[in-house]
Amino acid sequence: VSAAVSGQTVAGQVVAGPYAADPVFPRAERWRMWRGGLPEPPLVPPPGPDQRQLNYWMMSQRAGSLSYTTFAGGLSLLVFGVFVGVCDLRGWQFRLFGTLGANSLAAYVLHDVAAWLVTPWLTRESGVLVVLTGWLVFVGLVFGCCGLLQWKRWYLRV
In angstroms, the first-to-last Cα distance of the chain is: 48
Percentage of the chain lying above the pLDDT 90 cut: 44
Query: Could you count the other beta carbons within 10 Å of the beta carbon of residue 110?
Result: 20
Distances (CA, A) of 79 to 35, 83, 90, 100: 35, 6, 16, 17
In a domain, 73, yes or no: yes
Question: Does residue 132 form part of some domain?
Answer: yes
pLDDT tens-place string over residues 117-139: 999 999 889 999 999 999 999 99
Please report the DSSP string for 72-138 in residue order. HHHHHHHHHHHHIIIIIIS----HHHHHHHHTHHHHHHHHHHHHHHHGGG--TT--HHHHHHHHHHH
Boundaries of domain holding 137: 93-158
Residues 87 and 49 in one domain: no
Position 13: which residue type?
A: Q
User: Taking 50 as the threshold, does the pLDDT of residue 3 lie above it?
Assistant: no
1 falls within a domain: no
In a domain, 50, yes or no: yes
**Confidence band of 2 (pLDDT split at 50, 70, 90):** very low
CA 117 to chain centre: 23
Q: Quick one: 45 and 20 in the same domain?
A: yes
CA distance 124 to 122: 7
Contact 31, 12 (CB under 8 A): no
Top pLDDT among 152 and 158 is at 152
Q: How many residues does the chain have?
A: 158
- Choice among 38-52, 95-109, 127-141 with the minimum mean pLDDT: 38-52
Q: Do 47 and 70 fall into the same domain? A: no
Number of domains in the chain: 3
Q: Are residues 153 and 135 in the same domain?
A: yes
Mean pLDDT score across all residues of the chain: 82
Whether 103 and 78 map to the same domain: the answer is no
pLDDT at 9: 57
Do 77 and 138 fall within a single domain? Answer: no
Q: Is the alpha carbon torsion for 86, 88, 93, 94 positive or negative?
A: positive
Task: State the pLDDT at residue 4.
Answer: 45
Kindly report the pTM of this predicted structure: 0.56
